[in-house]
Structures are given as structure tokens and as C-alpha cells.
Amino acid sequence: MPEIKSLGFQKATKNRIFQDVVDQIQEAILSNELKPGDMLPAERDLRETFNVSRGTLREALRVLEHKGLIEIRLGTSGGAIVKNTGMEQLNETLALLIRSGELSVIDVGEFRAGIEEKVAHLAAERADQNQIGRLEALLQEARRLTDIGVSAWDDFLDTDQEIHKKIAEFSGNTLYKFVNNVVQDNIRRYYDRFLDPTMERMEQNYQDLAELVDAVRNKDARKAARTAQQHVYAFNSWMREKEAVRAGRSAKDAEQKTPKK
Amino acid sequence: MPEIKSLGFQKATKNRIFQDVVDQIQEAILSNELKPGDMLPAERDLRETFNVSRGTLREALRVLEHKGLIEIRLGTSGGAIVKNTGMEQLNETLALLIRSGELSVIDVGEFRAGIEEKVAHLAAERADQNQIGRLEALLQEARRLTDIGVSAWDDFLDTDQEIHKKIAEFSGNTLYKFVNNVVQDNIRRYYDRFLDPTMERMEQNYQDLAELVDAVRNKDARKAARTAQQHVYAFNSWMREKEAVRAGRSAKDAEQKTPKK
DNA sequence: CCATAACAATGGTTAAACCATTCTAAAGAA
DNA sequence: TTCTTTAGAATGGTTTAACCATTGTTATGG
């Protein structure tokens, strides 16, 4: 076999050659032969290694980039750098599903309720003192913003979201953390668009958060779960009201998802 | 305060014509200007429309293909056809996360337990008679396979999985259905690899399923949820045993995730 | 010593050609 | 007619060679 750099790359032969290149590089990354931070050779060198044209190689790199496995930088000392896998792709895919209309905001809200319930349950069981302290600090910030009033609405929602993300992190389950963050990021757009800031909502929201953090502090998993669920339900019903109003105004949008009990 | 990234903004990558092409075509698809089944013009025509080279256009198509927005076919009357968005990308991304070691099979199993509990709860509330009938038919099939014995283990697992997917579908929540299927598909690989077929497991598994379907039939949501959770816990503990044995053999793997309640 | 300019290495893009696959329609045989 | 075979055309897949744009490095000059 012709000398092939230091890595175990082979010549590409199948149909859809670029796919073969994708597979080989991906395999090298997932098997930890290439670690995050490592640089791939320059395109003109890789081209030769795989014995393909530069265009074909670039199609392969494009796919790997979109998979989130590499990042491509410009200029001298640029090139393809191996990335830490993350939830960015999950995030984008979920956003696509929502935008394409295959997922209703009601479905996403219901899903969120389930996730947050579980995450709160686990966090109450597992959070240590240090983590509880960080939640309390965030809660204090939420209190401060609530006292400011509706003008701090956006910052309040940020802090609210931050608390939920921390709780997901403290659940100790990476997958719950990923999924929770993805859902948070995607549903937040709807809140920003559809949720009017009112003092009542801020205050109730804060009370929910306080109760939730309190349950976690006391390691009362069942209460934490219940509180988190009710907290999300409140958001969801606000959203449904809004949705109902919108549907009422534009009569052409006749088809609505059957409301769930 | 938290970064801007919560919103759907993306890094403004200057020089990247193909990204511009991606955005335009994606926008056309998501705005329903292009519907599933529609064909895009041939590469040589599109090239001219966007006033880019064929190579650049192909990089754009490659990305859209990987996003799951189009499918590309070969030959006369081939070309890029607009696809129904689906869970394939979610599936692939989750598989990547697992393979890259960022997700342990224990995390995935725990997550699965939460999802199945919720899905069972919703299905018990919402499944109609027709759907319940389909579950009973699948349950009968599971009974038949159990009577055959361990030689039917693989088929039994297939039927088991089918029942869980149906229940997720009958939850009436598309997102739960997607996520459930993704998790099922990905965790199945571990079961295939690590789970030894025994008559006891088959029988217990069947009993769990029977109880679950029964709870759904009786619209007993709480019992359905509890049963589904216990069912998954059984699998998870079998997996943990296996994992413990494997870890025991290789002493360097000292750290184990704390078992929960 | 520092600012500036020239250079080099990299990814991004273009162009024209050819190959491989697949559908279609014409041609021919039954 | 009807079926089979074959030739053609349209499409995506690949190659080549050149040039452009960005960016880090190095040499230059004050």
C-alpha cells in the first residue's frame, strides 16, 4: 500500500466517494485516533492521501463540518480542526422540525413539562451543597429582577432559563441536560414572541422558582418534580391562550390541534 | 447575563457563498414554497440561477442533504427532491453522542425510563379503541414468541420495541414519538450486544408488557406510567450487571455511576 | 523597538470536461 | 400487436487546473 501519512486512511473507491472519505475521517475521530483540537492536513494534502479531487474532498469536509465533528478555519494555519461533539446539531434539527410545522408549540411544551419534571426529580436527589448554593444565588437574582418590575422581564426570563439549565445539569444525566437545553433554547423563541410581560406572571413565576429551589434544597424529589411540572404548565396555558386568540382572529387557520385535556 | 446564542442567530461567516445558497433553498422549503416531493431544477440549471459554480452549488446541496431537507437521486429524472423532515438526523446525532463517549448507556437508559413513563401515561389517557386493538394484537404476538422460547428472542425484542413505539405514537405528541423512537433505536444496539437471552427475562418482559397494555386499555394512566418505568428499570439493571462484570474484569474502570433510588 | 509592507499558506471559487447511472424511446424480434 | 433489446439523453458524480480572498508570518525601514 502507498505510504499514507500517519493515520490509517485508505484510498477511496466506492460510489459516492465523498461518503467514503466522510466515513474514514469520522471513524478516525470517533475512535479517538484524532482528538478534539487536532488539525487535519491541508486540503491539498488530504486530497492526495485519499486520492480524490479537491472538490470531492471538500464535499466530504462540508458534511463533517455540518455533523459538528470538525470546524474549518480560514487563512494561513487555518484548516479543519477536530471539534468537541455537542448538542448544536440536536438543537438545529429540533429547530427545523418546529419550523417545518411537524411539531406544534403545544407538543413541545408538553414534552418540556415531562423533561423538567424528571430533571427536577433527579436534581433533588443528587445535587450537592455547592450546586444548591449556585441555585440559590440565581434565585436571589430572580428576586432582584422581579422587584425591579416588568422592565426587567427579559433579564428575568434569562435567569429563569439559567435556573432550569442548572437544574438539568445537576440531574447528573448528560442526555437530560442536552435535551433540556435544546428544548429550552427552542421554546424560548415562542415565549419571546407570544408572552406579554405582566407583573402577575413575574411574581407567580418567581414563586414557582423559589418553591422549586426549596424542594431541591430539601431533597424533596417528589415535590420538586410536581413544582417543575406545574411551573411549565403555567407557561403552556399562557401560550395556549395566546394561540387561541391568534386562531380566533385569522379564520382561515381552521385546523387546530385538538386541545389535550 | 447569558449569551445571545439562545436566539436563532448564527455566526455571520463572511466568505461562504454556498452557505447563502443553503439558506435560500432552506427558506424556500421551510416557507412551504417548495413542498415535500417537489423537485429542484437540475444542478446545471440551479448553478445558473444562483450564478455560482457547480462545485459551490454541490457543496450547498450536500449540506441540505445532510440536514435531511432534500434527497438526491441519480440518473435521468434524478435530482434533488424535497423530503419530509424526519427524525433521521436526530437519530444520527444521538448515535454520534453515544459513540463519542459523551453519553453513557446508563444515562441513555435512565432517560429512556423517563420518556417511556410519560408516553405510557399519555397513551393511557388518549388511546382510542382502534389503537388499543393494535396493541393487543402485538401483545398476542409477544405471547406467541414467548411460548416458542429463547430461540425467538430476537423477534421478541422486535415486538417489544414495536409495542413501545406504538404506545409513543398513541401518546398523540409528535415530539415524544420522535424522541422515543430515537432512543429505542440507539439503545437497542446495546441490548443486542450485552443482553443474554434467558427464558426468565422473556417471561418477565412479557408480563410487564401485558400489564402495560392492560393499564392502557383501562385508561389507568398512573399504573401505565409506573409499569413502563419498572419495565425499563429491569432492562437497565440487567445492563448494569453486565457493565459491572465488564468493569470488574478490567480493573482500571473504577468509577461507576451511583445507582438511584 | 515598533509600525508597515511583502510574502506564503490556507480555504473558497470558478471553469470545462469527462465518467457513471438511470430512465426513455426507438428498433427489432416473436 | 406485444415483448425484448438497444441506443440515446439527461442527470448526478468526479477530475483538473487555475485564480481569488483571508490571515498569519516575516522582512523591511523608520
The predicted-structure confidence for A73-100, as pLDDT tens digits, reads as follows 999 999 999 998 777 888 888 888 888 8
CB A42 within 8 A of CB A27: no
Q: How far is the CA of B76 from the C1' of D5 (A)?
A: 19
- pLDDT-based confidence at A9, cuts 50/70/90? low
Does the pLDDT of residue A218 top 50, yes or no?
yes
* B15 CB less than 7 Å from any atom of strand D: yes
Hits for CB < 7 Å against strand D across B residues 22-61: 40, 42-44, 54-55, 58, 61
Q: Could you count the other beta carbons within 10 Å of the beta carbon of residue A77?
A: 8
From chain B, pick out residues whose CB is under 8 angstroms from the CB of A101. Answer: 32
Distance CA B100, CA B92 (A): 12
- What pLDDT sits at residue B246? 63
Residue burial A95-129, b: 16+ Cβ < 10 Å; e: rest: bbbbbbebbbbbbbbbbbbbbbbbbbbbbbbbbee
Looking at per-residue pLDDT, the higher value among B91 and B52 belongs to B52
Does the pLDDT of residue B3 top 70, yes or no?
no
Looking at per-residue pLDDT, the higher value among B260 and B172 belongs to B172
Does the pLDDT of residue B119 top 80, yes or no?
yes
CB pairs under 8 A between A and B: 138
* Residue A103 contacts B where some CB pair is shorter than 8 Å: yes
Which DSSP string do the residues of A84-121 spell out, in sequence order? PP-SHHHHHHHHHHHHTTSS-HHHHHHHHHHHHHHHHH
Identity of residue A174: T
Answer whether B96 sits within 8 Å of A85, measured CB to CB: yes
* A18 CB less than 7 Å from any atom of strand D: yes
SS3 A39: strand
In a mutational test of the A interface, the residue from B3, B5, B6 whose CB has the highest number of chain A CBs within 10 Å is B6
Q: Which three cell numbers stand for residue A174?
A: 448528560
* Residue B126 contacts A where some CB pair is shorter than 8 Å: yes
Answer whether A85 sits within 8 Å of B68, measured CB to CB: no
Percent of chain A with pLDDT over 90: 68
Average pLDDT over residues A99-118: 90
Answer whether A122 sits within 8 Å of B18, measured CB to CB: no
Give me the residue from A66, A85, A126 closest to B102, CB to CB.
A85
Q: Could you count the other beta carbons within 10 Å of the beta carbon of residue A24?
A: 19
Q: Which three cell numbers stand for residue A163?
A: 435556573
Distance CA B178, CA B161 (A): 14
Tens of pLDDT, residue by residue over B229-255, are 999 998 888 887 776 676 665 444 334
Packing angle of the helix pair A54-67, B54-67 (nearest 10 deg) = 30
Instruction: For residue A179, give Cα distances in angstroms to A87, A114, B175.
Output: 8, 11, 12
- What pLDDT sits at residue A102? 84
Answer whether B174 sits within 8 Å of A104, measured CB to CB: yes
Does the pLDDT of residue B82 top 80, yes or no?
yes
- What pLDDT sits at residue B100? 86
* A17 CB less than 7 Å from any atom of strand D: yes
Answer whether A122 sits within 8 Å of B260, measured CB to CB: yes
Average pLDDT over residues A135-147: 96
Distance CA A230, CA A168 (A): 17
Please choose, from the candidates B151, B175, B155, the residue with its C-alpha nearest in 3D space to the C-alpha of residue B163: B155
- Residue whose C-alpha cell is 443528587: A126
pTM of the predicted structure, to 2 decimals? 0.85
